[in-house]
Chains A and B, each alone.
Chain A
Amino acid sequence: MSNKERHWEKTKGLMMLTLAIWFVFSIVIFMFGESLNNGSFLGYPLAYYMCAQGSIVIFVVLIFWFANRQEKIDEEFGFAERGEDE
């Protein structure tokens, strides 16, 4: 496998993992909203809390994490951009 192909394999893996986490917190947990609401967080009913704040906060953290992981992958295979600061 060429360098490019291995880079793409790892990139795909990260994409799958990111989307799996996204799927759990955007869709799966709300399939069980009724039973979820029996639990609580900070005193809020859990399903209510997840859609009011919980999932949103998880998405923010997830995207920052994803961006950092992808940067590491790009560096590992020598595909990181050079000379372009933020």
Chain B
Amino acid sequence: MAEKFINKKDFISNLPKIYGTYTGGFLIFIILMAIAEQAGMDAKTIGILFVAFTVAIYALIGWISRTVQVDAYYVAGRQVPTVFNGMATAADWMSGASFVAMAGGIYFGGYTYMAFLVGWTGGYVLVSSLMAPYLRKFGCYTVPDFIGTRYGGNGARFMAVVVLTLASFTYVTAQINATGTIASRALGIPFELGVWVGLVSILLCSMLGGMRAVTWTQVAQYIVLIIAYLIPVFWISNKNGFGFFPHLMLADEVARLNDLEATFGLVKNAAADIKAAGVPGGLKSISVPHSDVPAGGMAAWKFISLAICMMVGTASLPHILMRYFTTPSVKAARKSVAWSLFFIALLYTSAPMLATLSKISLLDPNLPTGLIGKPIAEIMQIEWVNAWINVKQAFIADFNGDGVLQLNEWFMRGDVVVLATPEVAGLPYVISGLVAAGGMAAAMSTADGLILAIANALSHDIYYKIVDPKADVRKRLLVARGLLIVIGAAGAYIASMRITSILGAVAWAFDFAMSGLFFPLVLGIWWKRATRAGAVAGMIAGLGSGTAYLIYVGPKFMAQTPWLGIDHLRFGIIGASVCLIVMVVVSLMTEEPDSATQKMVDEVRVPSGKTILGKAH
């Protein structure tokens, strides 16, 4: 019955009403929780209820969206309206790292870190102008499906799957890690168990309905995460009288931070001192200016090169590109990219504001929340400081032994900026519960998109296209679901071993994707002369050289001095350049693609007419 209901045109036209009701219901839930808190419900129960309630709703949506049809499973039946696909892409895109770690990154890294903001938004211009509409016209189910059909042959298809798996898998462990952290904190269970709870929640959304289920849960998750991010930003700004609309009104605070930095002095602690004081790993003190641009050409190059890697990586990440396969038309795919970035921008433009608010709250001695310059004994009496020090998320090291807190003596983990700011600013606990639900939504939605991208590529491109082309629909979907569980479990297992730090891994995914996929995708559409041999050679050389360079400079590997400042976060610059050169040279050395392929490329370039690949292929 649900199957029938969801396929009907009514369902699509009723979407605004359905999600409107859902948003209203969620707001009522927040109010009920606030009332319960006033009535004396304890913080822990509120946290559990927030996470449990939202996850239960996602699971329900996942169950209603179950399907036995191939095109519903792989591309949500190609009927997702532009605005809703925009929301789903935004949730797909904004990971646990964006939600939890980005404001913290800006808090510690200031202007330098904001290269990520430029990179993670600017990439969508490339997606819309170079990729999305053409891939939609092609009518593929997965990104390797395009590579395999455009260049022909199993070799190209296989290499594309390898790049996709490597990039997406690096990314997914970080997401499962984040769901584990949040689940363990909100439910009060050990991290190792939290990871598996997170995984079960993720699979509940995607198992039965594939892309269709993921689409409709991601829309629901976007609504939760954006509410959870914006309420604290506006609340803190208004409560402390910084400005009614923080995005336009925090200039004085940014200037004040500049003055405070000059007063306190930005000191970079020596590694030996940090070690001697016993500062827990991953905790940092502020040593970089908030809004000042660091001097010199090298600093500018580091900013630009990081932005380039993130932009080009964005345009090559399969779990994002595949979202645009779900729109009803080519025109809709283009518009949908614009809506995606609009919904992403709502959060990304708020992150610097949250970082500013959080920083000024802690630094300004004129504010009641300010810590710097106060006696350490007094600070240790503050409840939230104590709580975060106990779980090793914050630390005080009195280097000069004067009993007063200096700027370089206050250590904190970046995640705390988002997770603790409501508490620091004295907001009710219900807001902290809401933030936990938002972080969970962000991490779950990205993990779902990534696991689905890998499982779909393996089931469609490897199993169906290469291993067993005669498999029937039932068997194909069975394999797809089995792979979903296997990949999720592998990711959760690695996450539970705690071997990745969130951000390092996330940036690497972009570098892997740009090294192997960017030019094969772009040239496949924009350069008719690109040949199969060129594409295969480009993918192998790009991925190979990028990975080799990562091992050469990676701080946990050989840790050699980076060349021209291209460190382990930027290795995609090497990989993608090599990929481009090799692909062009080899293509020109081999024979021109046959006329059928050239005709196919011509067809991809016009929006009207049938897709290249049939509705069910």
Chain A residue with Cβ nearest B114? A51
Q: Say yes or no for B118: interface residue by CB 8 A criterion.
A: yes
Q: Are B606 and A79 within 8 A (Cβ)?
A: yes
Q: Which residues on the A side are within 8 Å of B56 (C-beta)?
A: none
**With A44-B251, A67-B128, A81-B330 given, is the CB distance from A56 to B117 under 8 Å?**
yes
Chain B residue with Cβ nearest A52? B352
Q: Which residues on the B side are within 8 Å of A37 (C-beta)?
A: 291-293
Interface of B is mostly: helix
Q: Which residues on the A side are within 8 Å of B300 (C-beta)?
A: 30-34
A47 vs B334: C-alpha distance when bound (angstroms)? 30
**With A67-B337, A79-B606 given, is the CB distance from A52 to B304 under 8 Å?**
no
Q: Say yes or no for B206: interface residue by CB 8 A criterion.
A: no
Tell me the A44-77 residues at the B interface (CB within 8 Å): 44-45, 47-48, 51-53, 55-57, 59-60, 62-64, 66-67, 70-71, 74
Q: Are B338 and A60 within 8 A (Cβ)?
A: yes
What is the count of residue pairs linking A and B with beta-carbon distances less than 8 angstroms?
Answer: 158
Q: How large is the interface on A (under 10, 10 to 19, 20 to 34, 35 or more residues)?
A: 35 or more
Distance (Å) between the CB of A35 and the closest chain B CB? 9
**With A53-B247, A55-B118 given, is the CB distance from A18 to B125 under 8 Å?**
yes
Tell me the B317-334 residues at the A interface (CB within 8 Å): 328-332, 334
**With A31-B304, A33-B111, A80-B607 given, is the CB distance from A26 to B118 under 8 Å?**
yes
User: CB-CB contacts of B562-603 with A at 8 A, as 1s and 0s?
Assistant: 000000000000000000000000000000000000000010
Which residue of A32, A33, A86 is within 8 Å of B329 (Cβ)?
A: A86
A33 vs B121: C-alpha distance when bound (angstroms)? 18
Q: Which residues on the A side are within 8 Å of B295 (C-beta)?
A: 34
Chain A residue with Cβ nearest B348? A56
Q: Which residues on the B side are within 8 Å of A64 (C-beta)?
A: 335, 338
Q: Are B251 and A33 within 8 A (Cβ)?
A: no
Distance (Å) between the CB of B526 and the closest chain A CB? 8
Q: Which residues on the A side are within 8 Å of B130 (C-beta)?
A: 15
Chain B residue with Cβ nearest A25? B122
Q: Which residues on the A side are within 8 Å of B331 (C-beta)?
A: 67, 71, 74, 80-81, 84, 86
Q: Which residues on the B side are within 8 Å of A31 (C-beta)?
A: 300, 304
Which residue of B255, B308, B337, B342 is within 8 Å of A43 (Cβ)?
A: B255
Kindly name the residue among B114, B125, B252, B342 whose own CB sees the greatest number of chain A CB atoms within 10 A: B125
Which residue of A18, A32, A34 is within 8 Å of B129 (Cβ)?
A: A18
CB pairs A–B below 8 angstroms (12 shown)? A11-B605, A18-B129, A33-B111, A37-B292, A37-B293, A57-B345, A66-B338, A71-B334, A74-B607, A80-B331, A85-B328, A86-B331
